[in-house]
Amino acid sequence: MINEQKKHILMIATGGTIASKRGDSGLKPLITSEELLGYVPDAAKLCQADALQLLNIDSTNMQPKHWLLIAAAIEEHYDRYDGFVVCHGTDTMAYTASALSYLIQNSPKPIIITGSQKPIDLEITDAKTNLSDSLRYASCGRAHGVAIVFDGKVIAGTRGKKERTKSYNAFSSINFPYLATIQDGHIIFYLDDKDQLQAPVQFYHALDSRVALLKLIPSMEAGVLDYMAEHYDAVIIESFGVGGIPTHDTGDFHKAIERWVSAGKFVIMTTQVTNEGSNMSVYEIGKSIKQEFGLLEAYDMTLEATVTKLMWILAQTKDPARVRELLYRTVNRDILFTSKW
């Protein structure tokens, strides 16, 4: 009778450090999904877990086609499981968590992304704790939606960012509080709002990968924007401070953006600063060009959320008004500042 009450969780393995073994050329994902579960035998007390080997790659090689593959696997098995745990490499985990947030919306079932800084087969590793915590959280009836579970923290899928390359506390929640923490086997919720879900779960099946990123540096020439316009539908410009476009005596950036907008392509402004977001209206150097061209702005969204949200939007529409509407619509807690100007 106890077993019948346990949640049924599907663990989807995609590779990453958590599944890696050391070889002559360095760490490489080799551990299978079944083997991963074997390293956390106590998970049987938490849930009934099944394993699915979907990929076994370094997350550096993760692409939009893989995000679609993960989302499709979850959709295929959605009705048969109470929750999902995706084991993933840390380097692009925040991108995958954001992408899944847009591909799978309003899910009453938890979809958890986790990984580790050290392989699970080592004696000293964070992998076993992270996987166990993820299975615990995915088995909780109050959990829902896409989230990252890492180092005892539960982070909204659109708010995670890897800020440390080696430490166990690699991920932070940017411009948004943690959803919960997990301590000594107990889940402490800070945001407990599953009862506010109203719309049914919705799956999406397309992404437009023709989205580029340009990080400004003081010596950059605007010609790079013209080159990018030949290959991409949208460019995200990481500017300085709260945001602005260099004026330069030649006005090259102004002219390049004008060509982008005239061609029906999209320019989205954001900031290189991790916390607190952009606001182009503060300084004349940002406000004037934003108003002239009606530029979109990421505000408090993370870069990872901005990139993947644009891919999701542009796969649906290229209509400027519709793109603006969808960008400023909150999905899985991704944006608080929703003013259109």
Catalytic residues: 17
Burial of 80 (0-12, 13-18, 19+ CB in 10 A): exposed
Q: How far is CA 253 from CA 237, 244, 285, 320, in A?
A: 11, 11, 12, 21
Residue 290 and residue 297 in contact, taking contact as beta carbons nearer than 8 Å: yes
Q: Which residues, other chains included, contact 169 with Cβ-Cβ below 8 Å and sequence gap of 6+?
A: 151, 153
Q: How far is CA 314 from CA 211, 228, 234, in A?
A: 9, 17, 9
- For residue 50, which amino acid is it? D
Question: Buried b vs exposed e over 116-127: b needs ≥16 C-beta within 10 Å?
Answer: bbbbbbeeebbb
Cα of 42 vs its chain's centroid, Å? 29
Burial of 231 (0-12, 13-18, 19+ CB in 10 A): exposed
In degrees, rounded to 5, the angle at the alpha carbon of residue 162 between the alpha carbons of residues 241 and 82 is: 125
Residue 137 and residue 112 in contact, taking contact as beta carbons nearer than 8 Å: yes
Phi, psi values for residue 10, rounded to 5°: -105, 120
Cα–Cα dist 48/9, whole Å: 6
How many residues are present in the chain? 341
Q: Which residues, other chains included, contact 227 with Cβ-Cβ below 8 Å and sequence gap of 6+?
A: none
Please tell me whether residue 261 adopts helix, strand or coil conformation: helix
